Structure 1
Amino acid sequence: MSIRCRTIMLRVWVCLCFFMTWVNGQELAFRHYGTKDGLPSAEVYDILQDRQGFMWFATDMGVARFDGYTFEVFTTDNGLPDNTVFKMYLDSHNRIWFGCYNQRLCYFENEAFHAYPYNQLLLDAIHNKSLLLVDLLVDDQDAVHVGVKARGYFKISKDGVMVKEVTTLPEVMGYCVQTEKGMLSTGFDNADIEKTIKYVSCLLISANRFNYQHCVRVMNDAKLYSEPVKSVISGDTVCLVSHVRKLMRCTEKGCIEVAGNYQVLDMGMDHRRNIWMSTIDSGVYRMKSPYQPGVWDHWLDGESITGVTMDVQGGMWFATVANGVYYLPDEVMHARRFETSGKSKGRLIASDQQHMYVVGEQGDVEVLNENGDIQRSMQISLSKSMHIRYLAGDTACRKLFCWGHGNACYIQNFKIRYLAYFPHITDLLCWHDTVTAVGPGGIIHLVDDSIYRFGFQQKEVPAITSMAMATDRSMLLGSLEGLYGLVDNTPYFIGGDDERLHARIVKMQTDRNGITWMATKGAGLLGYRDSVIYHYDVSNGLCSNLLTDVKVDQGGDIWVSSFSGVNRIRPEGKPEVLYLSNANGLVSNTVLGLATIKNKIWILSEQGLNWFDADELLPDTLNAPIVFRGLKVNGASKPCRSGLELNPEENSIEITFAALDFRQAGVVRYRYRINGEQDSWSYTSQNTIHYERLPSGKYTFEVSAQNQSGVWSPSSPFQLSISPYFYDTLWFRLLLILVLAGSVGWYVYSRFRRLAWKNSIRNDLTQFQMQALSAQMNPHFIFNSLSSIQHFVMQHDERASNRYISRFARLMRLILDNSQKTMIPLESELEALEIYLELESMRFNQGFDYAIHVDPSVKPTDVRVPSLFLQPYVENAIWHGLMPKTEKGKLSIKIYKVNKVVYCEIEDNGVGRHASVKTNREKRPGHTSHGTVLSEKRLHLLNRTTRNSFSCEFIDLLNEQGNPAGTKVVLTFSEIN
């Protein structure tokens, strides 16, 4: 065998070993749901979306309600007449109707199934239990329309009256009826209908004619379609009619057959006006307007599709006889999958704006056109130690460069040219047929396959990862430590103090506005132009801050990839961030790279390749409704209804909710909060929130969902209240306050009563003490007075004795009257004092003169003083001051007031206190004067028991020579009226 033959065989073997293999060519991004996901059966007959947003599936094992997370199954145990359900219908009252195998109907309302009250009437009319219900409709008057195979059309009014019945006639292939509410098809092979039915509009299909009465509007669940679109033939309204194994395109002028040999079970229209036809054993077909014969798009071959439905988000649902349900989020996403057992998978992707290149590490290359068709496969010869690590396509040079840790090459016009001794680089650009590359060692220019190196002037430069050209044709370099500029082959750091520009830069590209966009590992997406920084991260919509690539499409949109999916950013105007993931049809969320051809976006992931037209990718403008799916209290399920009242001990709450966003396949970003516990939003991708030990009170739990465009839905509230313990209730607290207040009041009242009682006892005791003191003073005075009377009797002075006794009796009477009271008028005190002075003057043979002077400012009738208040001090002045004196004495009593303080001055010109004490000791040794002591005790008691302040001051008077000249006593007290 020649060397040439061996070389050819070796290359063939290499291609067989390392060539990338794909699964089933290109496909749409269908998502599949089966019994493993919760469907009760793989045999599905009908699909419906209710007005809340739930998807309903009719199967031979009951019906299932889907919220994007779980399937909730209903059977005869829940109220269905039969577990096999063929048809469903949503009426104007939001009731979901079910037509079952046993020809009975029911409807679902307020979370419960209700039997149709006229089921027996319908059974009697059909009169054949083996016939199947093929269509069901309920109009605005609550009349039920039923189509029965091989039996006809029935209408039952709200009151249970059979209004119209159409039975089978020969040589008629089938018909459809449009009521006021919508289309209804009987779907049997032999039927006819009158042309002049007032309450319906009809299309009659017979064996040899098509009778067109008037056009009807398209309904998603109809077998007949008409839409006011322009016809390529006459411009009239077009109707598509399927019957037997033919599909006809009809106008008022007649019908033409556009497809044959298809047994169409259902048809549905999407938001782009494409018609989707489900068939038996042939999958689903898509026919684009104007619905002409030709090659149609075809998917799910081999499947028997029983139903086609479009949801409110524009997603298409397909029911199958034996394989569950398929869901297509958007028909613009195309995909190719790698075989999991392949020797090599695509790791790099790039384009030259004519072709797309997918390159594996082992050098295998797939070349695809802009429609995703594989045009050719190529193999780059590599040394054993070389792997393709970098790939760059250039639109100016029309070249695709591949390089790694070794030799490099480029592909141009499907020819591979190898570059010897190519240095290690990390990125390149092409400008005017000159390739400029950058690597750790500096700048490299490739001109006519000749290599020119220009080393960096600065030695300490971080590892360069990417490069881009600014609007002024200057070079920007991305590195492991941030953004650098390049002037005269000298890098300089641009980041400054802004920490964002210190992040590791992975890829760079400059848009038409001169903004250089940088995909970073850790800081999200950064844009830089003229020292202005633009920043996007997870806080404003990115799915990850760890990016793998960035590309700018021809429309100016920015596309970034990560290991969590892809984001599209529209920076102009109000920034808009769109998120794409495997929920939207990506083969995998682990995205390795991005590329563009014209306005098509190509996404390379670990499991395969996706591509789509960016102009056809409609934004997610709908806010998916949020429904509350479950409530657990202390681990036990509770009715999930807002406004629930719970007991105090029921304070561990778990709330389950769901955004009915089927595009995101249950991977929805939520924000939530609950009043009283958290005022700011918390973010999560879970649809269950748990609160532990909530205090009593009224709570409003709010949750909002983010759609793929990054727009948050209005918050949905869920209210509940936790009753307080009895000791936390208002009435208990008020009662407790009242009890405490009453107890405190009773205690204070009792305390005051006890204090008042003690004070009363103390006052009484004081009064008794004062009375006792007065009683002691009175005998003292009486003793002295009796001594005076004795003196007069001994002197045989009867007149003086009688006068003295008379005045003494008057004085005793006054003292007796005054002693009954604690306080007496000053007038009474002065009257008794004047009689006392008169008696003492008589006793001493007029041995002293006395005078009582009351200042006009003092009103004796108004001022009150204790009884016998002044008498003890006057008595002391007479007995101890004036009596020892040999000459005639003088006694002066003055009463005046200063600032509401009453002064009483008792002044004598006697011998003085010191001489009096000396004389008393000589004459009566051992004698104690009780008058002064009693007076001091009395003043002390008065100060304790009254609000007044009594004081007494003794002043010794002296003459000019300094000898004693008498005594002055000053009594003061506040005026008491």
Structure 2
Amino acid sequence: MNNKLNHLLLVVLTFFLVATISGQRVQLNEPTRFLRLNDVLYLNQVYGGNQDSKGFLWFYSDKGVLKFDGFNFKVFNKESGLPNENVWFITIDSRDRIWLHSHDESIVYLQNDSIKETDRYKHTNYLYYVFELNKDSLILFSKPSRFLVTFSNNNHNLSYITSFDEKLQKYFNNIANVCLTKSMTDLNRLNSGNNGEDSYMDGYSIVFNNCIYGLSNLNNKIYIYNCESDNKFTQEIEKGLFYWPEKINKTINFSSSKNLYIFNKEKVVSYYSFTNSSSQNNRSFKDKNSNIWAAKKANYLEYFNGLELSNFTKLHYYTNSVVKSFQFDSLIFIELDNRTSQIFNCKSKNIVAAFNIFGIKEVGPWLNGWFWVRTNNRLVLVNEFGKEKDFYKETSEMGLQEKLMSWGPINSLYISKDSILTSTHHNKCDIIYRSDSKIGRQEIFRSNYRVTFLYSIDSMYYVVTNEVIYLLNKELKIQDSLFLANDFKNLNVSSFSYSKEFNKLFFGTSGDGVFMLNKNLTNLIKIRETNKLDIFNVFSIKNYLFAHSSKGIFSFVYNKENFEYNTVYANSYGIDPDEIKHCYYNGDSVIILLKNKIISFEYTLRDTVKDSLTVYECRIDSQKLEIKNDFKIPYKFTLLTFKFSTFNFGRIYDTKFRYRFNESDPWIVLSSNLIELSQLASGDYKLEIQAFNKYSNEVLASKVVRFNVATPWYKSTFFILSINLLFLGFVFWLYRSWLRRKQKVENDLRTLELSLRESKIKLLENQMNPHFLFNSLTSIKSFILGKDIKNADYYLGYFSKLMRLYLDSSRNSMISIENEIE
């Protein structure tokens, strides 16, 4: 019996430790940002929010539902088609269907940004619980009815449930047992019929991940039953009215106006307390990147950066704003906008002094642990405990003959407790020393350039100007110099420091980044990725280098002979670069003075979360397209748009986007998360989109979208080939026609020539009588036979002459009278 009792006590104690230690309380004081919603939707209050599996945030209010991708809100209200825009709760199922809980007779859900409405039921007052049997079957509990909704091909089928089957009845009986056996008498059970079967399904219990959670606001307890292990647990909670529990990102959230408990199974994994909220909260929740969102009983949201909550230590809060600050060693002089000043000690990490001095222009060290403070009309000595002395009265008593006010700006540097190295004019350096209760001054160095910084290391002194850095030995003689204008023109040195870890000198500039060099002023190197940065302060912690700039605090890690970029502390860490007043270090911690608070963090802090870029929407004009590999786009369109996001809401204010089509093309930087394209030629495209840090240019995520713009019919290969074939056929037809015409002409010419020959012969025949020729030749023959040579020769010659005349005249169209007579 004793062993069983001891075992039971051990189990109870073990659970108690798990419930408290695993859920350490985190106080939420000042939100990182406020998100005003009246510019998006005029509403009175935001009831709460949730996050779907894709990463979108959904907020519900008295004027509709808002979908947030980190850059833009999409509104669902009456104008969009909601039957009732007063949505007091939403449930997101495993297929990212958004079930809307409102006081309406219809059951409404959102799917792929479309509003789906079931048939109206007169006896349905509102939907209060959604129980998911599987991805396509859900039980909807409304008051007073219950429905089974099933899905097939994105179409729903809704039917009444009159009774549960044996398996479901047993399952829901376990829920009832959790409530009843733990005496949860304050639960708002619904006893509206069906033999009380739905009396345990009320607004203060929820089932998820084989665990049943029940809430008792009366007892300030949460009851948990693990169905797998058959164990029951109890978690005490802070007093207050807790709202309906929510399932968000595989956890259960219980929230009130001042607290947020997050459960995984039976363990409290996170516990947050809102300690300084400007107005009361409705529900609050944690997103996938551990950022906290608080819905207000007003028209805005509060956002708390997760990295800031888990890694930053708040050292001090100010009700007034910090105007300016000055740092010497471990002390920071801070002026506030209420016309007072304070001294913060970085070592003790608290405010050590306060004094009524305002309008501070300069602060510098003085003798015996005092500091001089120059305002518009005063010069005061102040120690680290806030005690004040009149500077002129003090120096007059010490024998100083001339007023230091006439020396111009004082840039002081300790040498010893009795002397100060200072620049009391724009281009010269003096030693102010104390001897026999008197103060004297001696000029030790004069430059042709304006002195901006003085620095001392191991009895070596550095006089820094924008053009030259001088190295003075312990006798205050110039040992060496480095002319900055030889390599870099117009450098405006804004900070100067020495790192013992690297045994290097570092100086920051206004607009040209950070530079590193050896103590003997050799090997001047520019730190990569600091180009065009305005640097206010540079320091090192171990193998890390920190540079406070106008774009945040840059961190670099030493690698061989140079530094490699590590991260930039800006909005993604909950730090607005415009609100950083000063940055310092103490041991292994970086201390940051912001506009209204002082925080610190470990020097190795780095956000290691890898972002992924999701292209979630593609539209051609008003038509939405499904995004997949090598999807096709019709050739005839006016505007092609892509929307995308990283869904890392902690980095949104540091993130910008750019795109290009070819690696040789320059990047096109976008002002939002929207790409608009028009007049794209036909062909294959490779659209590369990058999310990058707008301060450091670090690539956070990238995505390649391949698509094809369809070829118009008149540019298709088939059409062009057909046209070419038709053209070739037409040319061939022309050629054949020409050949036929040519052949015909040639035939006609031959025929004509034959006809001409025949005509000539006939003409010749007409001109020469055949009887005449026969008789003439016969007569000549008789002369030859009679051996009358003379007459034969005479008539034969005359006959040949006659033949020549016939033939010559046949070639001419006309014959002269002379020839005819002849």
| TM category, shorter | 0.5 to 0.7
Q: 1:598 to 1:413 in 2, by over 3 A?
A: farther
Q: Which residue of 1 aligns with 2:213?
A: 185
Q: Which residue of 1 aligns with 2:599?
A: 611
Give the SS at the match of 1:73: strand
Q: Which residue of 2 aligns with 1:31?
A: 33
Q: Which residue of 1 aligns with 2:15?
A: none
Supply the AA of the counterpart residue of 1:365.
S
Deviations 1:202-232 (A, max 9, x none): 6xxxxxxxxxx366xxxxxxxx7xxxxxxxx
> Is residue 489 of structure 1 aligned with residue 472 of structure 2?
no
Between the aligned partners of 1:337 and 1:156, the Cα distance in structure 2 is 56
* Deviation for aligned residue 1:599: 4.2
> Is residue 348 of structure 1 aligned with residue 335 of structure 2?
no
* Deviation for aligned residue 1:182: 5.5
* Deviation for aligned residue 1:314: 2.1
Contact 2:320 2:337 in 1 (8 A): no
> Is residue 421 of structure 1 aligned with residue 421 of structure 2?
no
Q: Which residue of 1 aligns with 2:498?
A: 510
Give the SS at the match of 1:694: coil
Q: 1:925 to 1:73 in 2, by over 3 A?
A: closer
* Deviation for aligned residue 1:366: 1.3
Deviations 1:266-311 (A, max 9, x none): 899999x9x998544x567999xxx99xx99752347443433222
Correspondent of 1:454 among 430, 444, 448: 444
Contact 2:497 2:505 in 1 (8 A): yes
Q: 1:508 to 1:426 in 2, by over 3 A?
A: farther
Between the aligned partners of 1:189 and 1:749, the Cα distance in structure 2 is 101
Unaligned runs of 5+ in 1: 1-25, 203-212, 216-223, 225-240, 248-259, 382-386, 802-842, 845-919, 935-977
**Residues 4-19 of structure 1 mapped to structure 2, 5 A cutoff:** none
Deviations 1:352-399 (A, max 9, x none): 32x432147999531234486544312459xxxxx64444689x9977
Between the aligned partners of 1:770 and 1:593, the Cα distance in structure 2 is 120
Q: With structure 2 as the length reference, what TM-score do the two structures score?
A: 0.66
Contact 1:33 1:39 in 2 (8 A): no
Supply the AA of the counterpart residue of 1:378.
F
Correspondent of 2:649 among 650, 662, 666: 662
Deviations 1:392-447 (A, max 9, x none): 689x9977565589968564454457475274457555566675445632334455
> Is residue 704 of structure 1 aligned with residue 715 of structure 2?
no
Contact 2:380 2:388 in 1 (8 A): no
> Is residue 523 of structure 1 aligned with residue 512 of structure 2?
yes
> Is residue 377 of structure 1 aligned with residue 354 of structure 2?
yes
Between the aligned partners of 1:303 and 1:379, the Cα distance in structure 2 is 33
> Is residue 639 of structure 1 aligned with residue 597 of structure 2?
no
* Deviation for aligned residue 1:109: 3.3
Between the aligned partners of 1:523 and 1:608, the Cα distance in structure 2 is 29
Between the aligned partners of 1:671 and 1:76, the Cα distance in structure 2 is 36
Q: Which residue of 2 aligns with 1:305?
A: 281
Contact 2:495 2:507 in 1 (8 A): yes
> Is residue 578 of structure 1 aligned with residue 567 of structure 2?
yes
Between the aligned partners of 1:379 and 1:93, the Cα distance in structure 2 is 62
Supply the AA of the counterpart residue of 1:681.
W
Q: Which residue of 1 aligns with 2:45?
A: 43
Q: Which residue of 1 aligns with 2:400?
A: none
Q: 1:601 to 1:557 in 2, by over 3 A?
A: same
Q: 1:661 to 1:171 in 2, by over 3 A?
A: closer
Q: Which residue of 2 aligns with 1:716?
A: 703
Q: 1:528 to 1:315 in 2, by over 3 A?
A: farther
Q: Which residue of 1 aligns with 2:816?
A: none
Contact 2:546 2:555 in 1 (8 A): yes
**Residues 312-461 of structure 1 mapped to structure 2, 5 A cutoff:** 312-322=288-298, 324-329=300-305, 330-331=308-309, 332=312, 334=314, 336=317, 339=320, 346-353=323-330, 355-359=331-335, 364-370=340-346, 373-379=350-356, 388-391=360-363, 402=373, 411-412=383-384, 414-415=386-387, 418=391, 421=404, 423-424=407-408, 429-430=413-414, 435-438=420-423, 440-446=426-432, 451-456=441-446, 459=448, 461=449
Q: 1:415 to 1:491 in 2, by over 3 A?
A: farther
Q: Which residue of 2 aligns with 1:750?
A: 737
Compare CA radii of gyration and give the structure with the larger one: 1
Contact 1:278 1:305 in 2 (8 A): no
Q: Which residue of 1 aligns with 2:783?
A: 794
Supply the AA of the counterpart residue of 1:507.
S
* Deviation for aligned residue 1:472: 11
* Deviation for aligned residue 1:694: 3.3
Supply the AA of the counterpart residue of 1:510.
Y
* Deviation for aligned residue 1:94: 3.8
Give the SS at the match of 2:342: strand
Contact 1:87 1:136 in 2 (8 A): no
* Deviation for aligned residue 1:172: 0.9
Contact 2:655 2:691 in 1 (8 A): yes
Deviations 1:514-564 (A, max 9, x none): 444333233233344542523444xxxx6x824140232434443434444
Supply the AA of the counterpart residue of 1:534.
K
Q: With structure 1 as the length reference, what TM-score do the two structures score?
A: 0.57
Q: Which residue of 1 aligns with 2:67?
A: 65
Correspondent of 2:184 among 148, 173, 190: 173
Percentage of pairs with the same residue: 15
Q: 1:748 to 1:475 in 2, by over 3 A?
A: farther
Give the SS at the match of 2:691: strand
Deviations 1:31-77 (A, max 9, x none): 22243253664533432211211111233333321122232232467
Give the SS at the match of 1:327: strand
Q: Which residue of 2 aligns with 1:93?
A: 95
Supply the AA of the counterpart residue of 1:503.
L
Between the aligned partners of 1:109 and 1:276, the Cα distance in structure 2 is 24
Between the aligned partners of 1:270 and 1:466, the Cα distance in structure 2 is 55
Q: Which residue of 1 aligns with 2:54?
A: 52
Give the SS at the match of 1:744: helix
Q: 1:268 to 1:84 in 2, by over 3 A?
A: closer
Q: 1:74 to 1:589 in 2, by over 3 A?
A: same
Contact 1:266 1:308 in 2 (8 A): no
* Deviation for aligned residue 1:450: 5.7
Contact 2:615 2:642 in 1 (8 A): no
Between the aligned partners of 1:116 and 1:765, the Cα distance in structure 2 is 95
Give the SS at the match of 1:748: helix
Contact 1:306 1:321 in 2 (8 A): yes
Contact 1:582 1:589 in 2 (8 A): no
Q: 1:83 to 1:472 in 2, by over 3 A?
A: same
Q: 1:109 to 1:360 in 2, by over 3 A?
A: closer
* Deviation for aligned residue 1:491: 7.3
Between the aligned partners of 1:182 and 1:670, the Cα distance in structure 2 is 42
Supply the AA of the counterpart residue of 1:716.
K
Q: 1:48 to 1:483 in 2, by over 3 A?
A: farther
* Deviation for aligned residue 1:672: 0.9
Between the aligned partners of 1:313 and 1:35, the Cα distance in structure 2 is 22
* Deviation for aligned residue 1:464: 3.4
Deviations 1:937-965 (A, max 9, x none): xxxxxxxxxxxxxxxxxxxxxxxxxxxxx
* Deviation for aligned residue 1:509: 2.6
Supply the AA of the counterpart residue of 2:284.
V
Q: Which residue of 1 aligns with 2:132?
A: 138
Between the aligned partners of 2:717 and 2:468, the Cα distance in structure 1 is 62
Between the aligned partners of 2:261 and 2:645, the Cα distance in structure 1 is 32
